[in-house]
Amino acid sequence: MSELASRQVVETVPPAQVFPALPPGQSFQDLPSSDDEDEDDQQDDGSGPDADSEEDRRLQEMIDAIEPFSDQEVDDMIEYLKERGLFAFVKRYVQELDIPLPRLLLAFGVLIPPETTAENQVRILKITLSRVLRARNRRQDINTVDDVVDLIRKSKNIVLLTGAGVSTSCGIPDFRSPTGLYARLKEEHWELDDPQQMFDLSYFKEKPNVFYSFAKEIYPSNFVPSPCHRFAKMLEDHQCLLRNYTQNIDGLFESVGVERLLNCHGSFATASCLRCRTKFPGSAIEADVFASRVPLCPLCSAMDEEQAKLAPPVRQPPAKWSASGKGFEDDPEDERPPASEWEGKPLVKPDIVFFGEMLSDEFDRCLLHDREQVDLLIVIGTSLRVAPVSQLVSHLPHSVPQILINRDPVSHHNFDVVLLGDGDTIVKHLVHKLGSEWSLPVPRQLQDKPVQDSADATAVAMIEPERVAESHVWLYPGANRDHRWVQLVQEAFDEDSEVEDASSSGTTGAPTEDAVDQKHLEEAAPPALDVPVPASDGRPASRPRSLEQDSDNDVLGKKVKLDA
């Protein structure tokens, strides 16, 4: 490794000067969430073959000026990044080993011109490392439902990542399903250009009345927790829940008694004044929510009234002499109507995280802590389309097993085992297979009705999930089996077995499972959430990309939708 510390040939900016430019503290919230298409390599600017070869020569000179790393060194770096995470990587390779950023970037296949500013170098490094992190390889030793059961049994620090899909059976719609909230908001007349504006901070500031006409529909009420909520509680009771990162704001995990809980997208438990930031208990705005009224901060409102009393009466501004010299004219500025009737008002908003807002620091703190402890990740009922929560799956050590339980595939990430179907049915099946020491705790709402669970038990015992070819994907009742990704897995594994047959007859080598996974990622990722992955093992593409062609959608620390 000492060789890694050796100085480079072209040193643009000493890293020690570069990294103070990183935001203070370690935040998972300002990492790029999605990149533009890598069209760059083949881009034709129409300037013809001579220009191309001139450009190639220029690029080659830039590459030659940088001392390369060996393949083994690059592999070690990638391994370190995927296992130890982005901040540990930066600490080691930039701060301790003092590797200049252009050299480090070239190791990841990114070539930057020498004149690139320090700030841009840091920005490009973050994008590059995030790209590598997004390319998680499946663990090939974990494939079956029994593997999942064994993992749950022996894991001590399980991270759950949950979303709206765990509450649909309680009667609360999710967001992005065809019957979800956004589809409904689209159909109804809510004056929204995009249904996600309902949870957009800028839109809220302009038209808080729209949100407050709707808020009662998502306000937590007396729903009965689902088996998925109870599954989280069961893990906690067995002392193997490290934390449940939930995106839900319905309060149902609290209602079933889960304590190791992080409400990543906040909750209605408190509300804050957007002007003075005073926090109020959620109960302070409950009446307004149910009356579809916009609550205003009582403290700021009292101050505004005081000031209005003290302020001198408003005088008409003097008319201006027209530029043409033909008399007085009105100043058009004076006629500007307020941008919105709510402009300047002390709006109170429930502390649910809107698009355009930061998540609480707790998210970063918990993730930094938990990535060192976690031994199993189970993701339930989320489309993983909203950053930064969606990035959690990339920021845990890549060797930690990852399981998905969802009705629809999440095709932009490689899980080790994918259990598709109705979440409640799947967790009940897993609990059944875990054996008699494990059972879903009965929530207080069901305590007088000693439960359908016993009736369910026989049905659950009968469930036989269907395996998609010889893959790691299993279909339970309720699975979206017509999803293109499922078909692609089927085809890929069918092809795989054909190739294997051929190879066993000595004609060719079988593709690795990684290659198959990569094919799925590339083919099945929805275009809106493009995942430009350099290669199946996260190694960079062989030809470096130059800076001018590289772009990013840095999320600047705010909650963003990936499918915007």
- Which parts of this chain interact with ligand OAD (CB under 6 A)? 163-165, 168-169, 174-177, 180, 199, 247, 249, 265, 352-353, 381-383, 385-386, 406-408, 422-423
Choose, from 189, 238, 265, 412, the residue flagged as catalytic.
265
Closer of 130 and 169 to ligand OAD (Cβ): 169
Closer of 93 and 214 to ligand OAD (Cβ): 214
Cα 265 to the center of its chain, rounded Å: 12
C-alpha 483/C-alpha 547 separation (Å) is: 37
Closer of 385 and 432 to ligand OAD (Cβ): 385
The minimum distance between CB 249 and ligand OAD, in angstroms, equals 6
Instruction: Give the DSSP H/E element, type plus range, for residue 48.
Output: helix 48-64
Q: Residue 261 contacts by C-beta under 8 Å, 6 or more apart in sequence? A: 232, 243, 244, 246, 253, 254
The minimum distance between CB 161 and ligand OAD, in angstroms, equals 10
In the annotation, is 189 catalytic? Answer: no
Instruction: Give the DSSP H/E element, type plus range, for residue 429.
Output: helix 423-434
Q: Partners of 386 in the beta sheet?
A: 561
Strands 348-352 and 266-273: antiparallel
Q: Residue 198 contacts by C-beta under 8 Å, 6 or more apart in sequence? A: 185, 190, 192, 210, 211, 214
The minimum distance between CB 330 and ligand OAD, in angstroms, equals 44
The minimum distance between CB 488 and ligand OAD, in angstroms, equals 17
3-state secondary structure 448-511: CCCCHHHHHHHHHHHCCCEECCCCCEEECCCCCCCCHHHHHHHHHHHHHHHHHHHHHCCCCCCC
Closer of 132 and 218 to ligand OAD (Cβ): 218
Q: 378 is written with which tokens?
A: 């189970």
Closer of 75 and 408 to ligand OAD (Cβ): 408
C-alpha 34/C-alpha 14 separation (Å) is: 28
Closer of 90 and 562 to ligand OAD (Cβ): 562
Closer of 137 and 169 to ligand OAD (Cβ): 169
C-alpha 121/C-alpha 19 separation (Å) is: 10
The minimum distance between CB 238 and ligand OAD, in angstroms, equals 22
Helices and strands counted in the chain (H then E) = 20, 17
By Cβ distance, which residue is nearest to ligand OAD? 165
The minimum distance between CB 383 and ligand OAD, in angstroms, equals 3
Task: Tell me which DSSP letter residue 296 carries.
Answer: B
Quote helix, strand, coil % in the chain, to nearest 5. 45, 10, 45
The minimum distance between CB 423 and ligand OAD, in angstroms, equals 3
Closer of 121 and 168 to ligand OAD (Cβ): 168
User: Helices 118-134 and 71-84, interaxial angle, to 10°?
Assistant: 80
Helix (H, G, I), strand (E, B) or coil at 7: coil
The minimum distance between CB 557 and ligand OAD, in angstroms, equals 16
Residue corresponding to tokens 């490794």: 1
CA dihedral 24, 26, 28, 31 (to 10 degrees): 50
C-alpha 258/C-alpha 244 separation (Å) is: 8
Residues noted as catalytic? 265
